[in-house]
């Protein structure tokens, strides 16, 4: 691996075993452009409910581990469903935990968002709530290309649980290339 290789970490916003979003995420290693590799962060289901009293006793190990992996990365890709026109509570909980650390791991981090939904507009509304949180956390969220995968059940192999739609895959490659460009611009 060359010193110029960018390493992005992937955060999945669904805990579901057969998650469509996890299926999209699982396909990312085969879609990244040259000069980029990806690895997966742990499950946000391992985080307890955020409680400042628990924090006062010490940050839970899974939170510290994920924060260190984000800090060490060149960028983050969040792949998440939309719940009730917003982000799943479990993802908000994870962001709340990570946001309490100092240094805060999302600060200055290039970040791309992907959402997938069986519905028509592919989780677009969750993306804008997520962007709003990431403004406060001072991440550099990539504007375009936006990846909002509608009718997603038709684009994922239900057995293998990977993305099979080539057009969507090509858009994802474009988005990760744009994230890599952003990361290189921020680094220089």
Q: List residues binding ligand FNR (CB under 6 A).
A: 14, 16, 19-21, 81-85, 117-119, 123
Nearest approach in angstroms of CB 82 to ligand FNR is 4
Q: Backbone phi, then psi, for 8, in 5-degree steps?
A: -105, 145
Q: Backbone phi, then psi, for 126, in 5-degree steps?
A: -65, -35
Are 111 and 127 in contact by the 8 Å Cβ rule? The answer is no
Residue 95, preceding peptide bond in cis (omega within 30° of 0): no
Closest CB to ligand FNR among residues 24, 180: 24
Closest CB to ligand FNR among residues 21, 27: 21
Closest CB to ligand FNR among residues 73, 114: 114
Nearest approach in angstroms of CB 123 to ligand FNR is 5
- Residue 110 CB partners (closer than 8 Å, separation 6+): 74, 75, 76, 139, 140, 142, 179, 182, 183, 186
Nearest approach in angstroms of CB 25 to ligand FNR is 9
Closest CB to ligand FNR among residues 64, 161: 161
Nearest approach in angstroms of CB 12 to ligand FNR is 8
Q: How far apart are CA 60 and CA 6, in angstroms?
A: 28
Q: How far apart are CA 79 and CA 20, in angstroms?
A: 10
Nearest approach in angstroms of CB 129 to ligand FNR is 11
């Amino acid at each position: 691996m060359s010193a110029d290789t960018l390493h992005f970490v992937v955060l999945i916003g669904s805990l579901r075993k057969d998650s469509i979003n996890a299926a999209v995420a699982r396909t990312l290693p085969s879609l990244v452009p040259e000069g980029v590799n990806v690895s997966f962060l742990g499950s946000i289901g391992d985080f307890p409910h955020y409680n400042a009293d628990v924090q006062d006793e010490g940050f839970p190990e899974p939170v510290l581990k994920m924060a260190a992996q984000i800090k060490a990365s060149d960028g983050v890709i969040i792949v998440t469903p939309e719940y009730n026109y917003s982000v799943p509570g479990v993802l908000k909980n994870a962001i709340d935990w990570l946001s309490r650390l100092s240094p805060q791991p999302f600060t200055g981090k290039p970040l791309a968002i992907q959402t997938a939904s069986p519905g028509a507009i592919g989780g677009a509304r969750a993306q804008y709530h997520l962007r709003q949180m990431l403004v406060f956390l001072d991440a550099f969220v990539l504007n375009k290309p936006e990846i909002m995968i509608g009718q997603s059940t038709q684009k994922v192999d239900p057995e293998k649980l990977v993305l099979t739609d080539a057009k969507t895959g090509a858009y994802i490659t474009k988005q990760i290339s744009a994230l890599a460009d952003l990361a290189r611009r921020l680094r220089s």
